[in-house]
Amino acid sequence: MEKSKILVIEDDGGIRTQMKWALNNEYDVLLAENTEEAIKLLTRFSPPLVTLDLGLPPDPEGTDEGFRLLQEILKMSPFTKVIIVTGNPEKEAPLRAVSMGAHDFFEKPINLEELKAVVKRANYVQGLEKKNKELLVQLKTESNRDIIGSSREMHEIFTAIRKVSTTDVPVLVTGESGTGKELVARAIHLQSRLGNGPFIPINCGAIPEKLMESELFGHEKGAYTGAHVQRKGKLELADNGTVFLDEIGDLPLPLQVKLLRVLQDHKLERVGGREMIDLDVRFLAATNKDPEELVRNGMFREDLYYRLAVVTIKTPALRERGEDILVLAKYFLKKHGGANEKIRKLGEDAVQAMKKYSWPGNVRELENKIQRAIAFAEGRQISASDLGLPASTDEFSLNLKKAKERLEMEYIKMALVKCDGNISHASKEMGLTRPTLHGLMKKYDITTKEMQNVDTEA
Ligand X SMILES: Nc1ncnc2c1ncn2[C@@H]1O[C@H](COP(=O)(O)OP(=O)(O)OP(=O)(O)O)[C@@H](O)[C@H]1O
Q: Which residues bind Mg ion (CB under 5 A)?
A: 182
Which of 28, 247 has the CB closer to Mg ion?
Answer: 247
Q: CA-based Rg of the chain, rounded to a whole angstrom? A: 33
Which of 102, 325 has the CB closer to ligand X?
Answer: 325
CB of 257 to Mg ion, least distance (A): 24
**Secondary structure (3-state) at 346:** strand
Could you say which residues in the range 173-192 bind ligand X, by CB under 6 A? 175, 177-183
* Contact between 212 and ligand X per CB under 6 A: no
| Partner in contact with 148, chosen from Mg ion, ligand X, none, beta carbon below 5 to 8 Å by kind | ligand X
Which of 70, 363 has the CB closer to Mg ion?
Answer: 363
Which of 165, 362 has the CB closer to Mg ion?
Answer: 362
Contact 79, 42 (CB under 8 A): no
CB of 288 to Mg ion, least distance (A): 8
Buried b (16+ CB within 10 A) or exposed e, 144-182: beebbbebebbeebeebbeebbeeeebbbbbbbebbbbb
CB of 356 to ligand X, least distance (A): 20
Which of 70, 328 has the CB closer to ligand X?
Answer: 328
The residue number whose beta carbon is nearest to ligand X equals 180
Which of 182, 269 has the CB closer to Mg ion?
Answer: 182
Could you say which residues in the range 118-157 bind ligand X, by CB under 6 A? 146-149
Contact 86, 64 (CB under 8 A): no
Bridge partners of 31? 8
Continuous H helices in 218-290: 234-237, 253-265
The amino acid at residue 220 is E
**Secondary structure (3-state) at 447:** coil
| Partner in contact with 288, chosen from ligand X, Mg ion, none, beta carbon below 5 to 8 Å by kind | ligand X
Which of 74, 148 has the CB closer to ligand X?
Answer: 148
Containing 199, the helix (H) or strand (E) segment is strand 199-203
Which of 177, 381 has the CB closer to ligand X?
Answer: 177
Contact 11, 33 (CB under 8 A): yes
Could you say which residues in the range 345-404 bind ligand X, by CB under 6 A? 363-364, 367
CA atoms within 13 A on the CB side of 227: 20
**CA distances for 173 relative to 10, 162, 245, angstroms:** 56, 14, 10
**CA distances for 23 relative to 3, 14, 175, angstroms:** 11, 15, 60
CB of 364 to Mg ion, least distance (A): 9
| Partner in contact with 364, chosen from Mg ion, ligand X, none, beta carbon below 5 to 8 Å by kind | ligand X
Bridge partners of 271? 219
| Partner in contact with 4, chosen from Mg ion, ligand X, none, beta carbon below 5 to 8 Å by kind | none
Contact 270, 233 (CB under 8 A): yes
Contact 361, 177 (CB under 8 A): yes
CB of 241 to ligand X, least distance (A): 18
* Contact between 288 and ligand X per CB under 6 A: yes
The amino acid at residue 189 is H
Which of 37, 182 has the CB closer to Mg ion?
Answer: 182
Q: Residue count at the site for ligand X (CB under 6 A)?
A: 17
Which of 127, 360 has the CB closer to ligand X?
Answer: 360
CB of 311 to Mg ion, least distance (A): 18
The residue number whose beta carbon is nearest to Mg ion equals 182
The number of helix segments (H) and strand segments (E) in the chain equals 19, 16
Cβ contacts of residue 266 below 8 Å, gap of 6+?
278, 279, 280, 281
| Partner in contact with 367, chosen from ligand X, Mg ion, none, beta carbon below 5 to 8 Å by kind | ligand X
CB of 151 to ligand X, least distance (A): 10
CB of 200 to ligand X, least distance (A): 15
* Contact between 326 and ligand X per CB under 6 A: no
Which of 355, 402 has the CB closer to ligand X?
Answer: 355
Contact 346, 385 (CB under 8 A): no
| Partner in contact with 363, chosen from Mg ion, ligand X, none, beta carbon below 5 to 8 Å by kind | ligand X
- Quote the Cα angle for 241-246-247, to 5°: 155
**Distance, C-alpha 250 to centroid of its chain:** 27
| Partner in contact with 281, chosen from ligand X, Mg ion, none, beta carbon below 5 to 8 Å by kind | none
Distance, CA of 363 to CA of 182 (rounded, Å):
12
Strands 241-246 and 199-203: what pairing? parallel
Could you say which residues in the range 17-76 bind ligand X, by CB under 6 A? none
CB of 246 to Mg ion, least distance (A): 5
CB of 209 to ligand X, least distance (A): 20
CB of 318 to ligand X, least distance (A): 8
Give the residues lining the site for ligand X (CB under 6 A): 146-149, 175, 177-183, 288, 328, 363-364, 367
